[in-house]
Each structure stands twice: as structure tokens, then as C-alpha cells.
């Protein structure tokens, strides 16, 4: 969680200070404005999965900005880069939904991503996020150029992957106690339902999407356990 909540220049973590850094990150999450409403659990899951399974690294913090009507709009839940070798890379701009209902979660994710790419918000995010990109990452200059005002949105989108993380209650996860073939077989229809809903949206014909499904035995139970853990670390 440390590299989710802390900035690049705060992440000098070693065996002597790792617990201190974890406590610092926990305090930042637990005491943040609208903690209970903003869905940090889903965002941390998205961040950790992309880092551990796809080798991405963070490039900029999550940002907020005002629309012309002074509504606060949240940018993508995650801004990472994935290096492909030979000087090539992908931007990973992610959206996370932590819901009880998978159907409601994927519908909300579709709406959020469509808002980003179709209503001009991505242009605002691009301009705000660009200056915040860490100068310590590889290909910093090339990545910053994608966020420059003179670079088209199409160029940014063509270099991007949009992971959508759906963390929600799962009948299969609630029923099974071990990871076996029976559990996987029960999960497949749940994943297909989410994938079909995403396919019907037509988003996959406009941008590159990666669907990440995190089945939960109990969304409420996880939220309560997360709350207890954060409260303990923040004490």
C-alpha cells in the first residue's frame, strides 16, 4: 500500500523503515477527505494487481479538478506505465469499482470511462497530470510528451491500456473455501456476465480495455477488516 499512498520522493523504503512507511501510508488513506465514499479499497486492489501481475509502475498521483460548473471530478484511479522493452511502453490508466453488485459495478465503470474519453475530461486530466509525472522513471521525457497540450488525445489513447477492476460480492467466492477447479468453474459464468456487459457497451472498439475481476466473499466484510487494519496502523 505504501507506493499507492506515498509520492515517489517519499518511497525510500528499506528494512529499517518499512513499517514506518506503511503507517504513514495508512494515515494518509484513513484520514483523507471522503475516505468511506471514494473506494480506496478497489483502487488499492487495482494498483497491486497491475504492479504484481503485469509489472506496471506508478507515474503520477490521482488528481482532482473542477469542471466549468465547479463540480469536482476525479481522474483515473490509477496512472501507471508498463515497459515493453526496446524503448516501447504503454500507459495504464485504470478505473476501479468496489461494489456489492457486479452488474452495478461494471455499469458504473463503463459510465466513468466513457466520461473520461468522450466528454472532454481526458483533455483536462492530461494537462493536469503531465507536470506531476515523476522525473525518476524511465522514458520520462517521452511519457511527458504524451501529456503535452500539443499532443492529440488520439496519440495518448493509442499508447494506453485501460484496466477496469471490478471487485464485488461473488456467490462462488462465498461458497468455496479453497482455490480448486470447482471454484474456477463457478467463477467463469460470473466473469462472463461482466465481460458481456462490457462488450455491449462498445468501449472495446474505441480503446484497449483489460477487465480485472476480483471476486469477494463479502464486500462488507472486507471493508470492515480494512477499516480495522487502517485504524490500527493509524493509531
Q: What is the pLDDT of residues 31-73, one digit of tens each?
A: 444 445 456 889 889 999 999 999 999 887 665 544 444 454 5
In this predicted model, which residue has the larger pLDDT, 74 or 93? 93
Residues 127-182: pLDDT tens digits?
888 888 888 889 999 999 998 889 999 999 999 999 999 999 999 999 999 999 99
Angstrom distances, CA of residue 182 to CA of 146, 212, 226 = 45, 20, 28
- pLDDT at 74 (0 to 100): 63
To the question of pTM greater than 0.75 for the whole model, the response is: yes
Residue 19 CB contacts under 8 Å (≥ 6 apart), including other chains: none
Question: Does pLDDT of 2 surpass 60?
Answer: no
Do 50 and 163 touch, CB atoms closer than 8 A?
yes
Amino acid at each position: 500500500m505504501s507506493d499507492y499512498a506515498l509520492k515517489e520522493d517519499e518511497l525510500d523504503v528499506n528494512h529499517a523503515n518499512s513499517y514506518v512507511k506503511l503507517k504513514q501510508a495508512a494515515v494518509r488513506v484513513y484520514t483523507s477527505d471522503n475516505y468511506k465514499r471514494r473506494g480506496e479499497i478497489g483502487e488499492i486492489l487495482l494498483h497491486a494487481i497491475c504492479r504484481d501481475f503485469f509489472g506496471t509502475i506508478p507515474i503520477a498521483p490521482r488528481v482532482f479538478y473542477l469542471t466549468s460548473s465547479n463540480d469536482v471530478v476525479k481522474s483515473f484511479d490509477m496512472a501507471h506505465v508498463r515497459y515493453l522493452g526496446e524503448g516501447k511502453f504503454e500507459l495504464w490508466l485504470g478505473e476501479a469499482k468496489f461494489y456489492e453488485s457486479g452488474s452495478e459495478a461494471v455499469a458504473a465503470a463503463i459510465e466513468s470511462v466513457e466520461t473520461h474519453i468522450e466528454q472532454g475530461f481526458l483533455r483536462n486530466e492530461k494537462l493536469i497530470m503531465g507536470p506531476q509525472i515523476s522525473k525518476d522513471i524511465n522514458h520520462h521525457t517521452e511519457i511527458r510528451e504524451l501529456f503535452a497540450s500539443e499532443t492529440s488525445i488520439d496519440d495518448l489513447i493509442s499508447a494506453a491500456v485501460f484496466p477496469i477492476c471490478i471487485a464485488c460480492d461473488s456467490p462462488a467466492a462465498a461458497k468455496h473455501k479453497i482455490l480448486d477447479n470447482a471454484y474456477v468453474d463457478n467463477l467463469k459464468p460470473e466473469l462472463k456476465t461482466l465481460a458481456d456487459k462490457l462488450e455491449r457497451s462498445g468501449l472495446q472498439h474505441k480503446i484497449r480495455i483489460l477487465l480485472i475481476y476480483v471476486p469477494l466473499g463479502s464486500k462488507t466484510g472486507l471493508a470492515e477488516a480494512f477499516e480495522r487494519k487502517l485504524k490500527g496502523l493509524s493509531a
